[in-house]
Amino acid sequence: MTAGGNIGFDAGAYWRERVGAGSDLAVVGHRAMGPAYNGEIYARRIEALESMLVRHARKPLHQLRVLDIGCGSGFYTQFWRSQGVHDYVGLDISVRTIEYLAGLYPDYDFVCADVAEPLPGTLAGVDRFDVITVFDVLYHIVDNPRVESAIANIGGMVADSGLLFVMDQLCKRDYQVSRHVIYRARDAYFEIFDQNSLTLKDSELLFHFLVPPITEIRVIDLSIAAVFKIFGCTLRLNDRLVVWAASALRRLDARMRARGIHVRNCEFLVFARKGEADG
C-alpha cells in the first residue's frame, strides 16, 4: 500500500477535540443526524456483533478477554458489560474519554494510547485477547504507514484462537472524501492483515442506505453527504419523524440484505489467525 493521507493532519488532536467526556452517539457517529437516528445505526451494529459472536466465539461470552480499540463514547463498553464480560480493556486516543469511562466502569481497565504507535507497557507483554474490536477506527487513520503499524500492533494482541472484529468501508482504490476519512483499496487492505498472520474468516454488509453509501465518484459522494446533512437537520425538528425515518431505512436495509442486494457501504469483517480460520 502506498503512502497516503494528509500531510500535517493531526488525527490525535482532531479526535481529542471531537470526542469528549460523556459524548453521545451523534458525536462519534453521524453528527448531522442526531442521537435518535444514530441509535438505529448502532442498533444495527450490535445486531451484527451479536450474530458474529454466536457464529464464531469459542468461549461463553462472560469468559472472553476483550480489547475495545477506539472505545469512544463507551457504547460497546456497555454492551460487553451487559453480556457479563469481566475482562475488558478499552483503548482510546482521547484522555478525556479514558478518564470518563474509567470513572463510569471502575472494574474495567482503560488505556489512553494511539494504536498506531508503540504500545504502552500496560498492553505490551500481557496475555493476548480472545476478541479485539476495531469499529470505525482504521478509516480514520489517514496515513497508510500508520494504518500498517496499527494493524501490526493489533495483530500481535490477538490470541491464537482469538478473533479480530473490524467495521470498515473498503473501495476499489484508496479513496479520501475528507481530511479525517480514507477508504482503502480492498485487495491491499487484506494484504496488510495477511502480512500480520490474519486472514478473513467471515464478513457481513452492515448498511445500504441507513448510512450514506459510497460510489467512489467524489461529486456524487459529496452531494449524497450534503443531502444527508439537510435530511438530518430537517428530521431533528421532530423526534418522532427521526425515529420513523431511521426505522424505515433500517427495515429497507434488512430487506435488501435478505434479497442479496449489495450497495457499497460499511462492512463487518472477522479475522482469525492463519491456521485457525477454518477451526
Q: Taking the domains of the chain in order of start, what are their residue ranges?
A: 11-273
Does position 88 have pLDDT exceeding 90, yes or no? yes
According to the model, what pLDDT value does residue 278 have?
58
Strongest mean pLDDT among 18-27, 73-82, 119-128: 73-82
Q: Residue 21 — pLDDT band, cuts 50, 70, 90?
A: very low
Mean pLDDT of 123-131: 80
Does position 125 have pLDDT exceeding 80, yes or no? no
Structural domain 11-273, CATH architecture: 3-Layer(aba) Sandwich (3.40)
Measured distance CA(101)–CA(189) in Å, rounded? 31
Q: Residue 6 — pLDDT band, cuts 50, 70, 90?
A: low
